[in-house]
Structure 1
Amino acid sequence: MPLATTRRAGLVDQVIGQLRDAIGQGDWAVGERIPTEAALAETLGVGRNTVREAVRALAHSGLLEVRQGDGTYVRATSEVSGAIRRLCGSELREVLQVRRSLEVEGARLAATERTEEELARLTELLAERDRAQQEKNHEEFVRTDTEFHTYVVHCGHNGLLSELYRGLSEAISASVAATSHDTLEEKVEIGHGGLLAAIADRDPARAVAEASGFLELLLLREESESPRR
């Protein structure tokens, strides 16, 4: 674990920074329990109270979750992700609603701002996604579908929008996994060729219609299967 002994000034902030970096770099995966306070204190060369304050701060920002009597677990990979996860919770409907807000604007921007190199990469990603769908490879489909949508937003060249979307990456992957079984079994057709074509043609209105269309379909399916009580 790449944690170094800290300097004596601003110990809590230094520990927060090192733990944040370790989480962001994937040293501990989302859902994984981090080392105990005693182990972290020994590794970092600080007191347990310092570690406790740092963990408390990271739990407040949404990166960690302290489970009394069980330990501390990674909840998200960034403060943005943690904030969004607190906002959305685990409700699939809410995740899809947030995705619609971000992806529709991302598609609109991508249609006007994308470069030729980015269009080529989008084409590659969609081919990988469609191949995984044909092969009914669920894990690969979730990965490539998520990567395709993330790259569409990236092509819009809006840094804040991209950061917000990347912060939602765990929830996006989960929503893809939860909604893709019917797609893989060909019970429902959800393709993205139309979205790619609209972006290629630099047609923002069509890109918006394509991006909103499939998400509206997913929302309608989710609402019909899980009606509000």
Structure 2
Amino acid sequence: MASLHPSPLAEQAAALIEEQIRAGHWPVGGKLPGEVALAKELGVGRSTVREALRTLAAAGMVRSRQGSGVFVTADRPADDWPARLRRAELAHVYEVRTMVEVQAARLAAARRTAADLTTLDAALADRLAAGGADDAAFVDADIALHTALVAAAHNPVLNDLFAQFAPVLREQLVDLVGLFGIRTDDPNQGYDSHAALVRAVREGDPEAAGRVLAAELEATRSRLLAD
């Protein structure tokens, strides 16, 4: 490998090591040279090599085994979660979305506060008002309601997980709602079921909340796939 020149040395080192792994110089399952050997080959210090290896470990390409050294675990960086979601089929996204949101609806019905109900009522009203807007505004209002529902579950892990889904859902739904004319006959498509969902949460009925949301998500998924 060529020696490196000043700049972000650790990034350069990581890039060159990755290049060698991709080329098969160090195959998956094989062991990398030690820090001293890598530092000499790259023309950098051991601390730079360690930082480069940490970068590659974070990307899922190498793993350190205590007392044994650093081993190659993949010849490509692992995709991050948002990137994988963007490539996924909508049907698959909806299957996982259903698992996440139906449980969130059940928890929301059991845990909602007065402030949560106020937020849900406002989000439902905004969704109704968005019936007269364009598809992008309608989808935004719909996702805002679902975001409020998940927040009412008071589970930060669910919040974070749905936050990963939301941008992907928005991109896909804006395109599909317009492409298939889903709102042509009913600009407020799905309003009744969403109102029933908010009502079930207000009444503290976890089973009803989960049942209503599961039916709504399945109806949307089926309609999109059928079209």
Report the Cα offset of residue 217 of structure 1: 0.6
Match of 1:152, as an amino acid?
Answer: L
3-state SS of paired residue (2:204): coil
**Equivalent residue for 1:82?**
80
Find 2:208's aligned residue among 177, 189, 206: 206
Distance 2:59 2:147 in 1: 24
Distance 1:98 1:124 in 2: 27
User: 2:85, 2:93 within 8 Å by CA — same for their partners in 1?
Assistant: no
Where does structure 2 lack aligned partners over 5 or more consecutive residues? Answer: 1-5, 19-54, 61-78
Spell out the pairing of 1:118-157 with structure 2 (5 A cutoff): 118-133=116-131, 135-157=132-154
**Equivalent residue for 1:98?**
96
**Equivalent residue for 2:190?**
190
**Equivalent residue for 2:177?**
180
User: 1:179, 1:218 within 8 Å by CA — same for their partners in 2?
Assistant: no
Across the aligned residues of Structure 1 and Structure 2, the Cα RMSD in angstroms comes to 2.8
Spell out the pairing of 1:23-42 with structure 2 (5 A cutoff): none
Distance 2:14 2:164 in 1: 21
Distance 1:138 1:54 in 2: 44
Identity %: 28
User: 2:102, 2:210 within 8 Å by CA — same for their partners in 1?
Assistant: yes
Distance 1:129 1:214 in 2: 15
Runs of 4+ in 1 over 6 A off after TM superposition: 53-56
Change (3 A) 1:146 1:125: same
Distance 1:179 1:213 in 2: 20
Where does structure 1 lack aligned partners over 5 or more consecutive residues? Answer: 1-45, 63-80
Report the Cα offset of residue 206 of structure 1: 0.9
TM-score by length of 2: 0.61
Report the Cα offset of residue 98 of structure 1: 1.5
**Equivalent residue for 2:7?**
47
Distance 1:124 1:194 in 2: 15
**Equivalent residue for 2:66?**
none
User: 1:95, 1:175 within 8 Å by CA — same for their partners in 2?
Assistant: no
**Equivalent residue for 1:171?**
168
Distance 2:216 2:208 in 1: 13
User: 2:85, 2:165 within 8 Å by CA — same for their partners in 1?
Assistant: no
Distance 2:82 2:103 in 1: 18
Report the Cα offset of residue 186 of structure 1: 2.7
TM-score by length of 1: 0.61
